Homo-oligomer: A and B are copies of this chain.
């Protein structure tokens, strides 16, 4: 190690967007402190950008800038490559090339990992390299390190949390200001909180990518978004938040992965009613939270900023520290090891209690008809309340069910939607069961 300590580790960047600029600036400004903490010196060696003439918030010497990624990837003096370019196709190509070239790769690219994680991890293994991705989930909260190392003793029956700060910001403001989804979304856009592809945030895809990564680490199986139940926040109305408040609950976009008693795992991202006493229910604004139930440790919850330049940079820098430790001789970050074979659960295996909101004709007999549909699926009603609708002749019907399956609810909703007395499709939320 003494010989190695004298080595200066060279770090190259693919991409110089918001996060990369944060990483560059903090590593540049705190060089002595970080080198001491890492146990070795480093040099910010090069940056590949798409447009070298673009003005940036950090000062990168001109001779370190290139527009050719291979100049970074093929430079034998570079030890660590930070892939902070985003996107999937090119990021995949460069990541695989960098691993093949013997680099340690650090990434914050959740979409890439969710889509190509199996391929990337096996490349890392094949070329005896390593791939670090702490910043891909929950921003500054070192949740991957906590899961893999700090809680290494545990098996996880349930992991759930808030993994998208934008959705949480929108829901928090809707609730506080009694405002509609559309009006707050407009504001969030104006503040730059929403991704260019808005659907990634509000339709739950970003959360799905992240829970997929946690599911892999906990259970060793890649669950693709198409095998999850995914529902975004577009259809949440202020009436739902008011109902929740009256029943001492809060609405959050909850991403979760559960393993049931038969060893089947199931991941989902959906608006969910949490009891207002749940710690996660009280995490507001752009903050993320991850709650994990370990079989030995019990429940631990980890909260922090889920996005933003500095929070994400903090996680990337932690990975660079671990990458240096790896290069100094630490064993490879192990792949997840599950001691049981897991399979994916189907919709009829997944039980929950549900909240339904229906927009109905305000006339006699409607209630009986709806009850009959639910009874036909063996779904029994727990609470039922009719609330005023802004249009005369219509009413909101809020109801909660006793425990039933995703499959039964799905079929019942399709049937309800087909009734003349029901406008639009029913809005569904899961009631959280810890």
Contacts and interface: CB of A to CB of B under 8 A. Distances in A.
Interface SS, A side: mixed
B305 A302 contact: no
Number of identical monomers bound together in the oligomeric complex: 2
B303 A279 contact: yes
A145 to B, nearest CB: 5
A296 B313 contact: yes
Interface stretch (A28-36, A244-252, A341-349, A366-374): A28-36
Contacts of A321: 149, 152-153
A154 B318 CA distance: 10
Contacts of A38: 152
Interface string A298-322: 1111111100001101110110011
A105 to B, nearest CB: 19
Interface stretch (A6-14, A223-231, A331-339, A422-430): A331-339
Contacts of A34: 152-153
B304 A303 contact: no
B141 A300 contact: yes
Nearest to A145: B150
A234 to B, nearest CB: 28
Nearest to A324: B331
Given A279-B283, A328-B330, 12 more contacts: A33-B339, A37-B337, A140-B298, A142-B146, A146-B146, A149-B318, A296-B310, A297-B305, A298-B304, A298-B311, A303-B303, A329-B329
Interface of A: 1, 22, 26, 30, 32-34, 36-39, 134, 140-142, 145-146, 149-154, 277, 279, 282-283, 294, 296-305, 310-311, 313-315, 317-318, 321-322, 325, 328-332, 334, 337, 339
Pairs A-B, 7 closest by C-beta atoms: A142-B150, A330-B330, A300-B304, A140-B297, A153-B317, A329-B329, A297-B314
